A = this chain, B = another copy of it.
Amino acid sequence: MARNMALDTSNITKNEAVEIACNTLAAIREKSPLVLNFTNTVVQPITANLLLAIGASPAMLSDGSEAEDMLRICANALLINVGTLSRAQSEEMEKAVAAAAKNSVPWVLDPVAVGLLGLRTNFVKKILAAGTPPALVRGNASEILATAGYEAKTRGAESTCGSESAIEAGKQLARKTGGAVLVTGETDFVTDGDKIAALGNGDIMMTRVTGVGCAMGALSAACVAVAETPFAGGVASALIMGIAGNIAAERCRGSGSFAVELLDAMYNLSESDIHSRAIVRE
A residues within 8 Å of B by Cβ? 34, 40-46, 48-49, 52-53, 57-63, 65-66, 69-70, 73-74, 83-89, 92, 113, 116-120, 155-158, 207-211, 252-257, 259-268
Contact A62 B43 (CB under 8 A): no
When chains A and B are docked, how far (Å) is the Cα of A44 from the Cα of B46?
12
When chains A and B are docked, how far (Å) is the Cα of A66 from the Cα of B113?
10
When chains A and B are docked, how far (Å) is the Cα of A158 from the Cα of B256?
25
When chains A and B are docked, how far (Å) is the Cα of A46 from the Cα of B253?
17
CB distance from A236 to the nearest CB of B (A): 20
Contact A52 B254 (CB under 8 A): no
Q: Which residues of B contact A87 (CB under 8 A)?
A: 63
CB distance from A231 to the nearest CB of B (A): 27
Q: Which residues of B contact A210 (CB under 8 A)?
A: 45, 48-49, 52, 58
Question: Number of copies of this chain in the oligomer?
Answer: 3
When chains A and B are docked, how far (Å) is the Cα of A263 from the Cα of B118?
33
Partner of A117, one of B58, B70, B265: B70
Partner of A70, one of B60, B116, B207: B116
Given contacts A34-B155, A58-B210, A84-B60, is CB(A264)–CB(B259) below 8 Å?
no
Contact A49 B156 (CB under 8 A): no
Nearest-neighbor residue (CB-CB) of A84 within chain B:
B62
Q: Which residues of B contact A255 (CB under 8 A)?
A: 49, 52-53, 263-264, 266-267
Q: Which residues of B contact A70 (CB under 8 A)?
A: 116-117, 156
